[in-house]
Structure 1
Amino acid sequence: MTNFKTCPVCDATVKGRSDKKYCSKKCKSIDQYEQRQKTEGFYIKVDRQLKINRKVLKRFNKSGYTVIRKNELLNEGFNPKFFTHYWKNKKGEVYLFVYEFGFLSKMDKGKEKYILVIWQDYMA
Structure 2
Amino acid sequence: MRFYKNCLYCNEALSGRTDKKFCDVQCKSAYQYQQSKLQPERFYNKVDNQLKLNRKILKEFNKGGKVTLRAELLMDQGFNPNFFTHYWKNHKGEVYLFVYEYGFLKIKENNKTKYLLILWQNYMEHKLHE
Task: Give the TM-score of the pair, scaled to structure 2.
Answer: 0.65
1:12-52 CA deviation, whole Å, 9 max, x = no partner?
A: xxxxxxxxxxxxxxxxxxxxxxxxx88x8100100000000
Q: Give the equivalent residue in structure 1 for 2:98.
A: 97
Task: Give the TM-score of the pair, scaled to structure 1.
Answer: 0.68
* SS in structure 2 of the partner of residue 82 of structure 1: coil
Shift of 1:60: 0.1
Give the root-mean-square deviation of aligned CA atoms.
Answer: 1.3
Q: Give the equivalent residue in structure 1 for 2:8.
A: none
Amino acid at match of 1:97: F
After TM superposition, which residue ranges in structure 1, 4 or more long, deviate above 3 angstroms? none
Equivalent positions of 1:1-124 (< 5 A) are 41-124=42-125
Distance in 2, matches of 1:120 and 1:44, equals: 29
List runs of 5+ in structure 1 lacking aligned partners.
Answer: 1-36
* SS in structure 2 of the partner of residue 72 of structure 1: helix
Q: How many equivalent residue pairs?
A: 87
| Percent of matched pairs sharing the same residue | 62
Distance in 2, matches of 1:51 and 1:75, equals: 16
